[in-house]
């Protein structure tokens, strides 16, 4: 599908659907974000576990560099072994190397009967055991998690119902594709197994598309719901195998550092990506709040560095994460980034000051 970069993500999803196809990159801002922005930030979202990031879907692009040169990259080819693939340099470059003026994106076939399970987890780390058993036996299209605090805010703000009577500290939202006839039965078996193991305490499964959409809202409406609290956001990632150890350490650190702050956890835990959100207490000024959060972020990032993780999993660096880039990228890498910026944008006219200083 070839289009201009100003196409809204959701428009592409709808267009693909009308053709009996599927564009799998999806997130809560799909109704407003543009494909150019998605590519420039290599956006991820809720289906990465199955379909990968935006990068996986870009088969061609035209860009105008900071020097005003038009580059036609990869031309929609599946195979192209002709040296450096500049397409991948421009993906995720946050508009610092060139302006994307045309995109060619791949589409795929639609998933079969996506079904959603919402499970009450006994702990954050239990989510990894649940992920493992479900991933072994089913084709997962999403594995998301959120805290009870996050869900309570969404339910109050959006007037939704609680998914089941009991409550847990955390929830896992699992979406799977019904590839084989017995997949539904397998999901129920796994549900029982997780209960027996003490990893989960309750759960529900969607019986219709409407019910699946309702369960998704509990996850998808979190960002918008908490935005009115002047939230301090962290979008961080570690290797999937390290998630339990990392989460337990960061949880201790945050509880000790922010005893008075309300923490909202959610994220794409199946990708090793969590969003740590801190809500501004009403009586704090924004400046005071951000300064305190920024200090504690440094400690979270030091921990991330020990784990070899990233200070920005999918939201990009921009201005806010720029001072912390060195926690995830080496001095040599940052120096090469600056050199590349000078090659493609010698007059520093494209998003100057974003991502890196030249």
Q: Which is nearer to ligand FAD, 203 or 267 (by Cβ)? A: 267
- Using rule CB under 6 A, residue 315 touches ligand FAD: yes
Comparing CB distances to ligand FAD, the nearer of 42 and 127 is 42
Closest CA to 115 of 44, 37, 28, 180: 180
Which 3-state string (H, E, C) describes 159-196? CCCCCCCCCCCEEEEEEEECCCCCHHHHHHHHHHHHHH
CA distance 138 to 117: 12
User: Strand pairing partners for 278?
Assistant: 232, 263
Contact pick of 12, 23, 24, 44 for ligand FAD (by CB under 6 A)? 44
Query: Helix axis angle, 286-307 relative to 243-257, nearest 10°?
Result: 150
Q: Report the nearest approach of ligand FAD to the CB of residue 55 (Å).
A: 11
Q: Which of 311, 294, 335, 330 is nearest to 356 (CA)?
A: 335
Q: Which stretch binds ligand FAD (CB under 6 A): 32-40, 121-129, 136-144, 150-158?
A: 32-40
- Binding mask 196-235 toward ligand FAD (x if CB under 6 A, else -) reads ---------------------------xx-----------
**Stretch 102-121 residues interacting with ligand FAD (CB under 6 A):** none
Question: Smallest distance from the beta carbon of 79 to ligand FAD, in angstroms?
Answer: 26
Using rule CB under 6 A, residue 55 touches ligand FAD: no
> Residue 341 and residue 96: Cα distance in Å, rounded?
7
Which one of residues 1, 40, 218, 328 is an interface residue with ligand FAD (CB under 6 A)? 40
Torsion (CA) 316, 319, 321, 325 in degrees, nearest 10: 90
The stretch near ligand FAD (CB under 6 A) out of 42-50, 66-74, 237-245, 338-346 is: 42-50
Q: Look at the chain and count its residues.
A: 358
Angle at which helix 183-197 crosses helix 126-137, to 10 degrees, equals 150
Shortest gap between Cβ of 1 and ligand FAD (angstroms)?
16
Q: How far is the CB of 81 from ligand FAD (least distance, A)?
A: 26
Contact between 151 and ligand FAD per CB under 6 A: no
Number of residues that bind ligand FAD (CB under 6 A): 24
- Is residue 27 a contact point for ligand FAD (CB under 6 A)? yes
Q: Is the dihedral of CA 132, 138, 142, 147 positive or negative?
A: negative
Cα–chain center distance at 267: 7
Work out whether 33 is an interface residue with ligand FAD (CB under 6 A): yes
CA distance 9 to 30: 5
Answer for which of 122, 175, 271, 314 binds ligand FAD (CB under 6 A) is 314
Nearer to ligand FAD, 29 or 147 (CB): 29
Q: What is the CA radius of gyration of the chain?
A: 21
Write out the residues near ligand FAD by the rule CB under 6 A: 5, 27-29, 33-34, 36-38, 40-41, 43-45, 94-95, 99-100, 223-224, 314-315, 351, 354
């Amino acid at each position: 599908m070839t289009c201009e970069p100003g196409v809204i993500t959701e428009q592409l999803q709808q267009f693909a659907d009308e053709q009996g196809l599927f564009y799998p990159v999806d997130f809560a801002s799909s109704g407003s974000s543009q494909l150019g922005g998605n590519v420039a930030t290599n956006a991820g979202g809720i289906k990465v576990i199955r379909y990968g990031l935006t990068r996986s879907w870009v088969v061609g692009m035209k860009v105008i560099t900071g020097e005003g040169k038009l580059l036609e990259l990869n031309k929609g080819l599946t195979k192209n072994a002709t040296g450096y693939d500049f397409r991948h340099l421009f993906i995720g470059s946050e508009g610092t190397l060139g302006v994307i003026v045309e995109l060619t994106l791949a589409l795929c076939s639609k998933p079969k009967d996506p079904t959603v399970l919402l499970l009450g987890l006994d702990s954050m780390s239990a989510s990894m055991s649940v992920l493992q058993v479900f991933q072994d036996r089913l084709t997962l299209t999403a594995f998301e998690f959120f805290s009870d605090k996050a869900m309570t805010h969404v339910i109050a703000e959006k007037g939704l119902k609680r998914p089941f009577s009991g409550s847990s500290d955390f929830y896992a939202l699992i979406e799977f594709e019904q590839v084989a006839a017995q997949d539904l039965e397998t999901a129920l078996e796994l549900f029982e197994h997780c209960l027996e193991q003490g990893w989960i305490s309750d759960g529900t499964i969607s019986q219709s598309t409407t019910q699946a959409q309702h369960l998704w809202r509990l996850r998808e409406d979190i960002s918008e719901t908490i935005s009115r609290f002047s939230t301090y956001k962290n979008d961080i990632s570690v290797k999937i195998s390290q998630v339990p150890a990392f989460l337990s350490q960061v949880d201790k650190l945050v509880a000790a550092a922010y005893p008075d702050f309300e923490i909202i956890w959610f994220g794409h835990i199946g990708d090793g990506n969590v969003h740590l959100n801190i809500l501004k207490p009403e009586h704090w000024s924004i400046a005071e709040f951000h300064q305190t959060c920024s200090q504690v972020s440094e400690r979270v990032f030091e921990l991330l560095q020990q784990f070899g993780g990233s200070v920005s999993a999918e939201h990009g660096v921009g201005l806010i994460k720029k001072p912390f880039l060195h926690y995830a990228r080496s001095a040599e890498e940052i120096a090469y980034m600056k050199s590349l910026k000078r090659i493609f944008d010698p007059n520093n006219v494209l998003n100057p000051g974003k991502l890196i200083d030249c």
